[in-house]
């Protein structure tokens, strides 16, 4: 709570969170079944900062709480250009591969539920995606984050190479 208050004082947007998926696990015991829950959560400010978290508990609300706390610890800054990605990128996690392609204004976020949550909370407004391999929610979310943290914008490349780069407007 204090972290959110500090962020809003600095003028940044407060973090929003959403539950991507709740997983239920059961264990058979003498009296019947005992259930436990795990939650996969995305946290972001819709302006270039996003994080994912995973939490487990015996009931859903504490699992979501733990996941949100975990997500706030794992925030990443994403390089965006006018509401889309600076270039095509492929993110990977285990058996999941996701290709994210920048799109022209007005396209929207063309993605499945798990990928859409991460991209929207990161602040991406126009993107095309394609998932190959496993479509497991955990792997998809991790693959999207993997791709997003490897994005580089024009200024980053210029500073790394020490040269001036000219770009051609695509649309």
pLDDT tens for the chain, 171 residues long, are 444 433 443 456 799 999 999 999 999 999 999 999 999 999 999 999 999 999 999 999 999 999 999 999 999 999 999 999 999 999 999 999 999 999 999 999 999 999 999 999 999 999 999 999 999 999 999 999 999 999 988 888 888 888 887 877 665
**What does the alpha-carbon distance between residue 4 and residue 136 come to, in Å, rounded to a whole number?**
31
**61 in the same domain as 112:** no
Decide which of 13, 41, 76 is a domain's last residue. 76
**97 in the same domain as 53:** no
Q: Is 53 a member of any domain?
A: yes
Instruction: Write out the residue range of the structural domain in which residue 123 sits.
Output: 79-161
Decide which of 35, 55, 76 is a domain's last residue. 76
Supply the pTM of this predicted model: 0.86
**56 in the same domain as 21:** yes
CB 86 within 8 A of CB 153: yes
Count of beta carbons in the 10 Å neighbourhood of residue 35: 12
**CA-CA distances (angstroms) from residue 69 to 4, 33, 41, 63?**
12, 29, 10, 10
Question: Which H or E element spans position 86?
Answer: none
């Amino acid at each position: 709570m204090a972290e959110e208050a500090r962020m809003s004082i600095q003028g940044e947007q407060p973090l929003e969170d959403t539950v991507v998926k709740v997983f239920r696990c059961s264990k058979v015991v003498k009296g019947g079944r005992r259930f436990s829950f795990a939650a996969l959560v995305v946290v972001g400010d819709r302006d270039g900062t996003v994080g994912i978290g995973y939490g487990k508990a015996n009931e859903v609300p504490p699992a979501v709480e733990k996941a949100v706390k975990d997500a706030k610890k794992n925030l990443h800054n994403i390089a965006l250009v006018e509401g889309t990605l600076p270039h095509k990128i492929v993110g990977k996690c285990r058996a999941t591969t996701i290709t994210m392609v920048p799109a022209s204004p007005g396209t929207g976020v063309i993605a499945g539920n798990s990928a859409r949550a991460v991209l929207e909370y990161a602040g991406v407004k126009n993107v095309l995606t394609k998932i190959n391999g496993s479509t497991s929610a955990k792997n998809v979310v991790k693959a999207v984050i993997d791709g997003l943290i490897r994005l580089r914008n024009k200024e980053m490349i210029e500073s790394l190479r020490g040269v001036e780069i000219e770009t051609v407007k695509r649309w």
